Amino acid sequence: MADYRFNIHGDVNISLMRELIDEFIDPAYYEITGEDSADVIQINTEGSSDRDTVKREIYRRLCDLTGRKQEWGALTGVRPVKLAGELIESIGLAGARERLSDFYYMSDEKIDLVTDMYLYQKQLFGSAEAKSAGVYIGIPFCPTRCLYCSFASNQVPDTEIERYMPVLLHEIDHVGRRLEETGGFAESIYIGGGTPTTLDASQLRMLLGETGKAFGDRIKELSVEAGRPDTITVEKLAVLKDMGVERISINPQSMKQETLDRIGRSHTPEDIEKAFSIALAAGFDVINADIIAGLPGEDEQDFALTLDRMIDIGASNITVHTLAVKRGSRLHEEDKQYHYRAAETVKAMLALSREKLDGAGFRPYYLYRQKHMAGAMENTGYCRDDKACLYNVRIMDEHQSTLAMGAGGISKKYYPETNRLVRIPNVTNYQEYISRIDEMIERKENTYFMEDKNAD
């Protein structure tokens, strides 16, 4: 019989509240034990080797015992819209809806959300061209580390950034040249982190100049994660605009000062408003704002004030994140169970965001889920006037290759013939990245640029 100790327990933790697991499932029993005990719930008596079958049975049993259901049902995984799209393409919209309801037990609201979103993405962008790639460039530095952060984010002196930059530019130059030599091209470029605007204006100009030279003129979209308002200046934004950046993101997370202090953000709500003001004056086509539902100490009214301010301040994209208590974050070390207790508050916040953003002319355009999210909910990107982010849509759809440069970047080679992805990770530690750059380049040579040898 298959061993489900890790996968099933992880899936159930996503699908149902942890207290249900603690109350109804003894962690010692994931398979039939042969013991006749009222304290043990026996599952998979038929001996199925199919993970989804066992997972669905666990979900049904817990729903029966508790009288509670989840909006996402028994569905797990990061990319529910990708699943909806593949179902629509194979069995049609009606068949997809039936499958999501009857097999995954999803609510009608979530089924509407993912199917409508896929059709909207298809209308806006269509399918990715063969040989196209989404390009990611990582700047793994931030002014401070947020309470919930588990990304590659380092607080370092300027001398360390100066060590990092020439190595990154070397990888960009090599990858751009090899992409062209193998007949590929970049469709979109996303510069993220960390916080790319941790770089000074001259470093940003150099980075964008080398990126433009490396990836040519077929780029449909160029985005930079400005992120932290305390790193944004008139000079830096002028450089971004001059170098062809159309989309930036200014991420307040909250407009409540006590929350900003608690989560480790070194800026004020006034700094956020100032950053938006100078970005709008600079003439950027799209400004995204990230906000988080479920931050410690916040209630529904606090979240509503943040959301209202982002709508009023001029954001054309608003991404509503559900707080996830990730391993590697300070919040996980301080309170591993926080996201379970915050579940109902977060659900109310997300319902409020859907109502307010719809009323303000926004619509949801991309979505993803993570482990340990409060309420087992989702992150949703909303756009106004069809100003959706192409890179975000493609990266979640996973029907296009991704080329990632910099510390922590993960490239993915997509093989359409077999609908398969091969991951090619860079090391996360920026010091290791600097010392092992030749190895990072060799990894791409032996996989991404090795023609279609791996497609068989």
Residue 53 CB neighbour total at 10 angstroms: 11
The tens place of each residue's pLDDT in the chain, 456 residues long, gives 344 443 444 444 444 444 344 333 433 333 434 444 455 667 777 888 887 888 888 888 888 877 888 899 988 889 999 999 999 999 999 999 999 999 999 999 999 999 999 999 999 999 999 999 999 999 999 877 666 555 667 888 999 999 999 999 999 999 999 999 999 999 999 999 889 999 999 999 999 999 999 998 899 999 999 988 989 999 999 999 999 999 999 989 999 999 998 888 888 999 999 999 999 999 998 999 999 999 988 999 999 999 999 999 999 999 999 988 655 555 545 555 555 677 889 999 999 999 999 999 999 999 999 877 877 899 999 999 999 999 999 999 999 999 999 999 999 999 999 999 999 999 999 999 999 999 999 999 999 998 644 444
Left if phi > 0, otherwise alpha if psi is -120 to 50, otherwise beta: which for 383?
Answer: beta
Cα–Cα distance between 369 and 388 in angstroms, integer?
19
For the chain, helix, strand, coil in percent to 5 are 50, 15, 35
- Nearest residue to 138 (alpha-carbon basis) of 190, 95, 63, 174: 190
Q: What is the 8-class DSSP label of residue 260?
A: H
| 447: CB partners within 8 A, 6+ apart | 411, 413, 422, 424, 454
Q: What is the pLDDT of residues 112-168, one digit of tens each?
A: 999 999 999 999 999 999 999 999 999 999 877 666 555 667 888 999 999 999 999
Domains (ranges, CATH) in the chain? Answer: 5-66 (no CATH), 80-121 (no CATH), 125-401 (3.80.30.20)
Cα–Cα distance between 8 and 208 in angstroms, integer?
44
Predicted TM-score of the model (pTM): 0.89
- Sign for the pseudo-dihedral over CA of 98, 103, 108, 109: negative
DSSP secondary structure letters along 211-254 = HHHHHTT--SEEEEEEE-GGG--HHHHHHHHHTT--EEEE--B-
